[in-house]
Amino acid sequence: MSFKEISPNELNTAIFDDIGNKWMLISAAKEDGTVNTMTASWGTVGVLWNKNVFICFIRPQRYTFEFTEASDKISLSFFGEEHRAALKLCGTKSGRDCDKIALAGLDAFVNENGVGFEQAERIIYGKKLYCGRLDPKCFLDEGIEKHYDGDYHYVYICEIEKIEEREQ
């Protein structure tokens, strides 16, 4: 499949639905070219520090965390409903234990922008600007704590460097 680059201003999508309901894969590659990915349904896209950014969240026990820590590039890949089973698999299996990308029937690639997938409808490539761990002392809503058992996410704020969409 081939992709075309679009500008952030051309991003024409229901991003809340894409992230929260359709899900996405957060991916990174280590220097040796190995790749890992995880399914996520939390994140956001917006403007911060006069830059177009995305923000994603990763728990430190996830294998993908090692990859995002080892790279300055993180990508978000979005898929059509026909790949729902692949995203479910990537959210329940660990790359420590198996080649979940192959098991999911996905074809990953690495280029100068980061990690992408041939089957993706859209890929947002970013460069890390900030990483920090959520601090439960800063939660202002008591209901947030129910999402945690002491395993607080790391927050990555990434400058969007490139967006690609599948050519029709």
Question: Distance between CA atoms of 2 and 80, rounded to whole angstroms?
Answer: 16
Domain that holds residue 101: 3-166
Find the helix or strand (DSSP H, E) in which 65 lies: helix 63-70
Q: What is the pTM of this model?
A: 0.95
d(C-alpha 123, C-alpha 116), whole Å? 6
Tokens encoding 118: 């041939």
HSE (side-chain half, CA atoms, 13 Å) at 92: 8
Q: Is the pLDDT of residue 165 over 90?
A: yes
11-45 pLDDT, tens digit each = 888 999 999 999 999 999 999 999 999 999 999 99
**pLDDT value at residue 1:** 61
Q: What percent of the chain has pLDDT over 70?
A: 99
* CATH code, domain with 33: 2.30.110.10
Give yes or no for residue 7 having a pLDDT over 90: yes
In this structure, the chain runs to a length of 168
pLDDT of residue 13: 85
Domain count, the chain: 1
Task: Output the six-digit token pair for 156.
Answer: 């990555």
